[in-house]
Amino acid sequence: MKSAEIREAFLRFFEEQGHTRVASSSLIPGNDPTLLFTNAGMNQFKDCFLGQEKRAYTRAVSSQKCVRAGGKHNDLENVGYTARHHTFFEMLGNFSFGDYFKRDAITYAWNFLTSEKWLNLPKEKLWVTVYASDDEAYDIWTKDIGVPAERMVRIGDNKGAPYASDNFWTMGDTGPCGPCTEIFYDHGADIWGGPPGSPEEDGDRYIEIWNNVFMQFNRTADGVLHPLPAPSVDTGMGLERISAVLQHVHSNYEIDLFQSLLTASAKAIGCTNDAQASLKVVADHIRSCGFLVADGVLPSNEGRGYVLRRIIRRACRHGNKLGAKGSFFYQIVAALVAEMGEAFPELKSQQAHIERVLKAEEEQFAKTLEQGLKILEQDLAELKGDVVPGDVVFKLYDTYGFPMDLTGDIARERSLTIDEEGFEREMEAQRVRARSASSFGMDYNSLVKVDVATEFTGYTAHSGSAKIVALYKEGQSVDVLSEGEAGVVVLNQTPFYAESGGQIGDCGFLQAGAARFDVRDTTKTGGAFLHHGVLDSGSLIVGTPVQTHVDADVRHATSLNHSATHLLHAALRQVLGEHVQQKGSLVDSQRLRFDFSHFEAIKPEQLKALEDIVNAEIRKNSPVETEETDIETAKQKGAMALFGEKYGDSVRVLSMGDFSVELCGGIHANRTGDIGLLKITSEGGVASGVRRIEAVTGAAALAYLNAAEEQLKEAANLVKGSRDNLIDKLSAVLERNRLLEKQLEQLQAKAASAAGDDLSASALDVKGVKVLAVRLDGQDGKALLALVDQLKNKLGRAVILLGSVHEEKVVLVAGVTKDLTGQLKAGDLMKQAAAAVGGKGGGRPDMAQGGGIDAGALDAALALTVPFVEQGL
Ligand code: SER
């Protein structure tokens, strides 16, 4: 059975058992800040297990994209060296949310694996583990299913702490968890390895193929297990492993899906395909990298982007080991799309984007890879002991862009380890240096610790009454703020919008009797809104009331820019494609700035299309509507969510007609028509794969256009025309200019010829040779060349050197008539003369050109001509 057929069979089997087929979620767990990447099929159902979310179904089945690199479940360093670890894999899973439990879950799993109609695996090849104390599961397996006791293994807390066990599954440090039962397949005695729980269990003979988790608890950060509202089931079977079993191969890399990736990798690298470890690494990594980029991750120096960078660079290094020349990694994307694009259409639609991202990262790393490897070789040659010191690992990281695990990888190949702690110490020291270099700003987020949650009233109000709940001065909590002092005011409620989602914080003032606090910015930490500013008069005291006044004009202009940003975002996806994702945004009262993923400059006609689309939406004057709902409903409405952004239980969906739907907590126009007009003022690149558009709206857009109009008027005045005939007038001016230039050239040529006549008269006679060395300031090289030609004709046997100071530089042309070039060469004369004016020159024996910068030495250079001729004859 091919992998694709196995995937489909699994989904169909569980559909027949009343499960709803649910699509794979993104690799970026948008609504779960505890997870780096989606690492199991159950992630998207986390809230269903916790009882915090109800869906229309209680049974689900899926084939989920997973990445296990860089987070709690991290397989990166094993990849390539075992038969079964991957950075990316597909997990087949069936789920029950308070519906069936242990007995049905076990029965379904067994039936799917062993019944003739489905996978038809030989029962005697299957082994089963259960959590040591889970007698219920043990009995179901042995009594109901009939697995003999000798192929049953109980596994306790074998990882050094209560519930730390291969048979107790936890999603992360917190979240749903429970005991599990795992099904293993025995690949046969010719493969090394022992049954689960035995000392040889790490071998490749007994491979876990299916994990059935009985979700019973929610683990909180304090380590306590709280029972879930209803016992549930979460299972996971790696598609690659079960494919290996069914295709009678012993390594995942031998299955159909990997064969074409290995072939493509070998071709791109230019090596043979005998599935060496490095080739497997490359074939594995193209999957995680391809899928991560398709889901919106870009290589960077932090978070998810850094994990992606580490994987790409690891692939590059292994390709390099196999002799790859130039960029190879991106060339494998086509094979990935061919193999998996059917099941995951996002790969197809993003193919060009993925290729560009990978190529750019590869090219960037290629610049330092070779050099870094050389440095590492030197360090390793001098190494005493078998641990690579932290400062070496750090130097490679800092100067050559080698992620720590890449250096670790190289070390491991030589049976060395790296000093991770030493590396972390160096990193920390660098962080401290960076902090002290920028310690002039006060970071209130880390200093201010307030428990209050300020209530935000600003969606509907600009002003109101409030009570002061805390005051801060220089980062310290104080009871009173006095006149002239700068500080931070925290209120119980406020209409001031705190900076977030790209929209800047509101400004305005707070008033309490004679006291007036000028609010220059508003930020948020935890639930508290911080009003930053200066007390212009009076004093403020904790516990007393104040009146709040947001600067309504600034707020209004800002809100127009924010709404226009949403329209622009939607228009960008229409014009450039669905790969466009927000990478950053800044909205203030003057303009909007929007950064997004896209790989090339935007063409003028695309910019125009963007403006046209947004302005048409503005003219539609659709109402800007908001709705509070849960994230799933929001997604079903097609709301664009930012990847990596944390969204709470309740989200705010902001829509403008049927054109734009986004999750957003910002302040917006009432109707799109309020924006008036959008005008793009600039477009450019800010980082590899990220473009930036800046634009103005409303009154600022009008001012921008008015300024442009003023410039037009000025330009028209200059050519004594009007706006209407400016282009004709300008064309006429340019045409006239061209004619004048031509005439000037002709006149110059005439003048030069006349000068030539005069000049020939002043030639000296040196041993029967006419020698002429003259200075003609203001003439350019072209004019001098023409003149030398002419003089040669006139003078007969002659050596000529003409020099000029033109545009502050010295220009020299030398000529020797053909009959003399046997003895005297123009190039030789030029070499001497050009050197004298601090420059260079050369050319043919009969004609040479040169120049220099030392105008003061030009006469001396010309004076070299006579001696040159005398010596040469
Ligand atoms: N969540 C479990 C696992 O990842 C079963 O899906 O193994």
Tell me, what amino acid is at 371?
Q
Q: Could you report the per-residue pLDDT of 594-623, keeping only the tens digit for each?
A: 999 998 889 999 999 999 999 999 999 999
Residue 31: the pLDDT is 61
Pocket test for ligand 1, best of 213, 216, 242 (most atoms within 8 A of CB): 213
Per-residue pLDDT of 154-190, as tens digits, reads 999 998 888 999 999 988 778 899 999 999 999 999 9
Q: Which pLDDT score, from 0 to 100, does residue 440 have?
A: 31
Centre of ligand 1 from the C-alpha of residue 214, in Å: 10
Q: What is the mean pLDDT of residues 89-117?
A: 97
Chain centroid to CA 78 = 26
Q: Which one of 234, 237, 239 would you pick to mutate in the ligand 1 pocket, going by the greatest count of ligand atoms within 8 A of its CB?
A: 234
Q: Which helix (H) or strand (E) holds 547?
A: strand 545-550
Confidence of residue 740 (pLDDT cuts 50, 70, 90): very high
What mean pLDDT comes out for the span 246-268? 95
pLDDT at 353 over 70: yes
Query: Residue 204: pLDDT band by 50, 70, 90 thresholds?
Result: confident
Name the pLDDT band for 761 (thresholds 50, 70, 90).
confident
Q: 601 alpha carbon to ligand 1 midpoint, in Å?
A: 43
Where does ligand 1 bind, in terms of residues with CB under 6 Å? 40-42, 93, 169, 211, 213, 234-236
Give me the pLDDT at residue 72, please: 64
Chain mean pLDDT for the chain: 91
The pLDDT of residue 446 is above 60: no
| Structure confidence at residue 441 (pLDDT) | 34
Alpha carbons 176 and 214: distance in angstroms, whole number = 10
Ligand 1 atom 4 nearest Cα? 40
Helix (H) or strand (E) holding 473: strand 463-473
Residues 689, 90, 190: CA angle, nearest 5 degrees: 125
Average pLDDT over residues 471-490: 89
- Contact status, residue 64 vs residue 94, Cβ threshold 8 Å: no
Mean pLDDT of 126-139: 97
Q: Whose CA is nearest to atom 1 of ligand 1?
A: 40
Share of the chain above pLDDT 70, in %: 96
What mean pLDDT is predicted for residues 669-680?
A: 97
pLDDT, position 548: 97
Q: How far is the CA of 648 from the centre of ligand 1 (A)?
A: 25
Around Cβ 370, how many Cβ atoms within 10 Å?
A: 11
State pLDDT tens for residues 710-736: 999 999 999 998 988 999 999 999 999
Ligand 1 mean position, distance from CA 644 (Å) = 23
The arithmetic mean of pLDDT across residues 800-806, rounded, is: 95
Q: Beta strand pairing status for 152-155 and 126-131?
A: parallel
Among protein residues, the one with the nearest Cα to ligand 1's atom 3 is 236
Per residue in 550-595, pLDDT (tens digit) is: 999 999 999 999 999 999 999 999 999 988 988 889 999 999 999 9
Question: Which of 580, 534, 585 shows the shortest CA–CA distance to 558?
Answer: 585
Taking the centre of ligand 1 as the mean of its atom positions, its distance from the CA of residue 37, in whole angstroms, is 14
pLDDT the model gives residue 635? 81
93 CA from centroid of ligand 1 (Å): 8
Q: How buried is residue 182: exposed, middle or buried, by Cβ count under 10 Å (0-12/13-18/19+)?
A: buried
Residue with the larger pLDDT of the pair 379 and 450: 379
pLDDT for the residue 443: 43
Tokens at 792, concatenated: 């040669």
Confidence bin at 120 (pLDDT 50/70/90):
very high
